[in-house]
């Protein structure tokens, strides 16, 4: 525990994390289709509270052969479990899991990033670098100029580790520099000597370091916000028909399916033009919406419930990022490329 953090405050923070983990576990019981996402959030809160053995139990629960649903992202869960185990003394088991994740060569960048950061945090810089390089080679074809957002942490992490190792810039480092949106260049953010600036008595050096830290914090906040986008609710045509048949008062919100789709696209474009980042679309179903209304002790006919339902779906990891790439299928489900459907300018 840090000396400047009073014990009472630390206990309060830990209790808040424990309570939130318990709430998420209860919610997972209500929404089994989203249990994996919710239990991973619960495990994260348990780790923050220092209850790492309980977090491991949740990871094991998700990976168990007796689990109600096979995990959608088993390698991600294994990576998280390894990182957690290493933090409370189970290094050998953590290393074995990490090696298994690397051997499996996941197509999702997240497991690679997690195991690499675990290696880095325990001063295994060469292994962290090898892990991130393996991932970049697998997931980013030669000559990639616009890497998917999910791969950005791979490039940023590799850049950071190479700076710590004193390696010269290569093509992937240059790409990381180009795609970074931080106000401070990556070379400054990842400068190994920065830590010494924190002990300086020179006000100018301290101010410069504060500026760099603020920029880095902004990048972290942006990354952390991505799983919970500002989401607009989308009803496929059969679901909207069923919804309006059951609750005719909602016709004022949805005069027609075509108007509903046009409103979604125009609303997202307005939000984007206003500078709102991380936009997404969540797809509703009538049974899910009715269950949500019941959980809120509210009638599904209440239009004020619709945005709350959308926010809840987004928090449960159900949002699809908007806009799709021009060649990707449109979010409306037409099967036509977005650039030739609702993405037409």
Task: List, for residues 272-312, the tens digit of each pLDDT value.
Answer: 888 887 889 999 999 889 888 887 888 999 999 999 899 88
Mean pLDDT, residues 171-176:
92
Model confidence at 164: pLDDT above 80: yes
Among 42-51, 60-69, 112-121, 213-222, the range scoring the smallest mean pLDDT is 213-222
Which pLDDT score, from 0 to 100, does residue 194 have?
A: 61
Task: List, for residues 4-58, the tens digit of each pLDDT value.
Answer: 444 554 565 588 889 989 988 998 888 888 888 889 989 999 998 999 999 999 9
**Cα dihedral sign for 85, 86, 92, 98?**
positive
Angle at 124 between CA 108 and CA 159, to 5 degrees: 60
pTM to 2 decimal places: 0.63
Mean pLDDT, residues 101-115:
95
Q: Which two tokens stand for residue 21?
A: 């983990």
Q: At which residue do the structure tokens 């093509």 appear?
A: 171
Which pLDDT score, from 0 to 100, does residue 4 have?
A: 43
Q: Which residues lie closer than 8 Å to 12 by C-beta, 6 or more apart? A: none
Rounded Cα distance between 250 and 117, Å, is 48
More confident residue, 203 or 267: 267
More confident residue, 205 or 152: 152
Mean pLDDT, residues 91-114:
95
* Contacts within 8 Å (CB) and 24+ apart, 184-188: 184/211, 184/212, 184/215, 184/216, 186/156, 186/159, 186/160, 187/163, 188/212
More confident residue, 215 or 203: 203
Q: What is the Cα 99 distance to its own chain's centre? A: 24
Which pLDDT score, from 0 to 100, does residue 2 have?
A: 32
Rounded percentage of the chain residues whose pLDDT exceeds 70: 85
Rounded Cα distance between 164 and 152, Å, is 19
Task: List, for residues 126-143, the tens digit of each pLDDT value.
Answer: 999 999 999 999 999 888
Model confidence at 223: pLDDT above 80: no
Rounded percentage of the chain residues whose pLDDT exceeds 90: 49
Q: Which two tokens stand for residue 236?
A: 């496929």
Contact 336, 325 (CB under 8 A): no
Mean pLDDT, residues 81-95:
95
Strands 279-283 and 320-322: antiparallel
Task: List, for residues 302-345, the tens digit of each pLDDT value.
Answer: 999 999 899 888 877 788 889 887 678 899 998 899 988 998 86
Confidence of residue 261 (pLDDT cuts 50, 70, 90): very high
Rounded Cα distance between 118 and 122, Å, is 7
Which pLDDT score, from 0 to 100, does residue 213 have?
A: 59
Contact 284, 235 (CB under 8 A): yes
**Residue 321 φ then ψ, to 5°:** -60, 145
């Amino acid at each position: 525990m840090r000396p400047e953090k009073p014990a009472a405050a630390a206990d309060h923070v830990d209790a808040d994390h424990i309570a939130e983990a318990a709430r998420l576990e209860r919610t997972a019981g209500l929404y089994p289709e989203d249990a994996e996402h919710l239990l991973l959030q619960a495990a994260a809160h348990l780790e923050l509270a220092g209850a790492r053995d309980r977090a491991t139990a949740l990871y094991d629960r998700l990976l168990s052969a007796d689990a109600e649903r096979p995990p959608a992202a088993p390698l991600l869960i294994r990576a998280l479990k390894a990182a957690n185990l290493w933090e409370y003394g189970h290094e050998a088991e953590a290393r074995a899991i990490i090696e298994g994740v690397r051997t499996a060569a996941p197509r999702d960048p997240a497991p690679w990033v997690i195991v690499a950061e675990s290696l880095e945090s325990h001063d295994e810089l060469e292994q962290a670098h090898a892990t991130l390089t393996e991932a970049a080679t697998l997931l980013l074809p030669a000559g990639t100029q616009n890497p998917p957002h999910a791969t950005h942490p791979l490039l940023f992490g590799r850049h950071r580790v190479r700076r710590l190792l004193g390696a010269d810039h290569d093509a992937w480092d240059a790409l990381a520099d180009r795609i970074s949106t931080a106000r401070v260049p990556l070379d400054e953010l990842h400068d190994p000597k920065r830590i010494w600036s924190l002990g300086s008595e020179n006000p100018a050096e301290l101010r410069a370091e504060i500026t760099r830290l603020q920029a880095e914090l902004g990048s972290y906040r942006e990354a952390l916000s991505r799983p919970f986008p500002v989401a607009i609710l989308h009803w496929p045509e059969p679901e909207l028909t069923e919804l309006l048949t059951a609750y005719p008062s909602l016709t004022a919100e949805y005069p027609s399916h075509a108007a509903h789709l046009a409103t979604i696209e125009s609303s997202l474009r307005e939000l984007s033009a206003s500078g709102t980042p991380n936009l997404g679309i969540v797809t509703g179903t009538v049974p899910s919406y009715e269950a949500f209304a019941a959980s809120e002790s509210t009638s599904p006919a209440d239009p004020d419930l619709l945005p709350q339902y959308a926010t809840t779906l987004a928090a449960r990891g159900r949002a699809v990022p908007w806009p799709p790439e021009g060649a990707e299928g449109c979010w409306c489900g037409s099967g036509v490329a977005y650039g030739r459907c609702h993405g037409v300018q």
